[in-house]
Amino acid sequence: MTNVPEQDRVLIFDTTLRDGEQSPGATMTHDEKLEIAGLLDEMGVDIIEAGFPIASEGDFKAVSEIAANSRNSVICGLARANLTDIDRCWEAVKHAAQPRIHTFIGTSPLHRAIPNLTMDEMAGKIHETVSHARNLCDNVQWSPMDATRTEWEYLCRVVEIAIKAGATTINIPDTVGYTAPEESASLIRRLIETVPGADDVIFATHCHNDLGMATANALAAVAGGARQIECTVNGLGERAGNTALEEVVMALKVRHDILPWTTGVDTTKIMHISRRVSTVSGFPVQYNKAIVGKNAFAHESGIHQDGMLKNAETFEIMRPEDVGLTASNLVMGKHSGRAALRDKLKQLGHEVGDNQLKDIFVRFKELADRKKEVYDEDIIALVGTTADQTDDRLQIVSLKVLCGTGGPAEATLEMEIDGKEAIATEHGDGPVDATFKAVRALYPNEARLQLYQVHAVTEGTDAQATVSVRLEEDGVIATGQSADTDTVVASARAYVNALNRLLVRREKTGPGTDAREVSYKDVS
19 known ligand binder: yes
Of 64, 61, 70, 13, the C-alpha closest to 41 is: 70
Could you count the other beta carbons within 10 Å of the beta carbon of residue 303? Answer: 10
User: How far, CA to CA in Å, does 437 sit from each of 28, 377, 408, 430, 487?
Assistant: 27, 31, 13, 11, 16
85 known ligand binder: no
Total residues belonging to the chain: 524
Could you count the other beta carbons within 10 Å of the beta carbon of residue 293? Answer: 16
Determine the 3-state secondary structure of 293 from DSSP.
coil
CA 271 to chain centre: 13
Determine the 3-state secondary structure of 445 from DSSP.
coil
Burial of 410-438, coded b for 16+ CB within 10 Å and e otherwise, reads bbbbbbeeeeeeeebebebeebbbbbbbb
Q: How far apart are CA 262 and CA 386, in angstroms?
A: 38
Q: How far apart are CA 315 and CA 343, in angstroms?
A: 30
User: DSSP strand E in 29-95: where?
Assistant: 47-51, 74-80
208 known ligand binder: yes
Instruction: Assess contact for 395 and 389: CB atoms under 8 A.
Output: yes
Instruction: Give me the residues paired with residue 425 across strands.
Output: 412
Q: How far apart are CA 25 and CA 477, in angstroms?
A: 8
Amino acid found at 125: K
Instruction: Give me the residues paired with residue 143 across strands.
Output: 104
Determine the 3-state secondary structure of 466 from DSSP.
strand
Of 125, 118, 184, 185, the C-alpha closest to 149 is: 184
DSSP3 helix / strand / coil % (the chain, rounded to 5): 45, 20, 35
Instruction: Assess contact for 233 and 16: CB atoms under 8 A.
Output: yes
Instruction: Assess contact for 297 and 320: CB atoms under 8 A.
Output: yes
Instruction: Give me the residues paired with residue 496 across strands.
Output: none
Question: Residue 35: CB partners within 8 Å, gap ≥ 6?
Answer: 276, 280
Determine the 3-state secondary structure of 455 from DSSP.
strand
Q: How far apart are CA 422 and CA 441, in angstroms?
A: 10
Binding residues for Mn(2+): 19, 206, 208, 242
Binding residues: 19, 206, 208, 242
